[in-house]
Amino acid sequence: MEVPKEIEETDQVANTSLTVISELISTFDIVQDFVQHSDVFFKKDEILLPSTVLLYPIDTSFLDGDGISVVLDFGDLGATPHGVLCKDKKYRAGRIVLELTKPYTEIDAKLKVKFEEEFPFYSGDGQTMTAFNGQFTLLRASVKEILLHSDGLKLETKDVEQILDADVSINLDEDNGAGILNDVMSFEGVLNLSNGVSETIISTLSALQKNYTLDCVQNIVSGEMDIDLSASASEVLVDFDPDNNMACDNIVELTVNGKSVRHEY
């Protein structure tokens, strides 16, 4: 099938936007699952983290007033497939530093998710990996809502670096116990991507929803978003559930100027 010219022109930006959304949310997933399964960040029975991930506690007491912190070490990139395979079918490498101000269940608890320049964190499919440098924060707004914020987070995929500023509301739609296994969560907000030349604004039109069964955790099963490209008159609409069946796949429908095409990301 011939790809409409407008879609062909914006395909690279759409791909980049989908990669950023996928990797950001999947990194949130692994952090959220770990924190909810941990007693002062000591590993218990995480669903998504493999046993090979090393934990280095830095500060394990809230009593000193400066919160607690731990390092998650996924190991080196190594040979292809790069990194270690996690239970959500994502490969990860490098390190994440987690700093939590107070117990994560308490309102206004703030979790800093930090990626150090000297020990980058990588996430991807084992072939194409996205490197993270900087940080994002998770703020407990209510029992069922977490606010994700990033300012100047660097993401590099295939030698292309993007700067991400984001404000996303994450809501727990269905809670099925500790961790995120079998939960349902939705994501709404605005992400701004810049590469120094052009800017892309990604906005959710309807909440992006994930169903956290083990066979579906890597997929966004429904929701729509708008991709506004500063360097193009075209605007891309993305539908994560074009068949209205909430399928656990990576198929989306891209619509540009009224013309649509299916796309696997």
Q: Tokens 């707004």 identify what position?
A: 141
Q: Residue 174: its pLDDT value, please?
A: 95
Residue 214 has pLDDT above 90, yes or no: no
Residue 83 has pLDDT above 90, yes or no: yes
* Inter-CA distances, 64 with 42, 61, 67, 101, 102, Å: 18, 7, 7, 11, 11
Q: Residue 136: its pLDDT value, please?
A: 98
- DSSP bridge pairs for 148: 138, 168
Output the pTM of the full model.
Answer: 0.91
Share of the chain above pLDDT 90, in %: 67
Does residue 249 sit in helix, strand or coil? coil
Residue 4 has pLDDT above 50, yes or no: no
Q: Which of 176-185, 198-207, 240-249 has the lowest mean pLDDT?
A: 176-185
Q: Residue 157: its pLDDT value, please?
A: 92
Q: Residue 1: its pLDDT value, please?
A: 38
Q: Residue 178: its pLDDT value, please?
A: 74
Q: Residue 2: its pLDDT value, please?
A: 44
Q: Residue 184: its pLDDT value, please?
A: 97
Residue 100 has pLDDT above 50, yes or no: yes
Q: Which residues contact 255 (CB under 8 A, 6 or more apart)?
A: 236, 237, 238, 239
Please say whether the beta carbons of 92 and 75 come within 8 A: no
Q: Residue 250: its pLDDT value, please?
A: 87
Is the bond preceding 4 in cis, omega lying within 30 degrees of 0? no
User: Which range has highest mean pLDDT (12-21, 42-51, 123-132)?
Assistant: 123-132
Domain ranges for the chain, please list them.
Answer: 5-264
Burial status of residue 246 (CB atoms within 10 A of its CB: 0-12, 13-18, 19 or more): middle
pLDDT tens digits, residue range 117-174?
999 999 999 999 999 999 999 999 999 999 999 999 999 998 889 999 999 999 999 9
Share of the chain above pLDDT 70, in %: 91
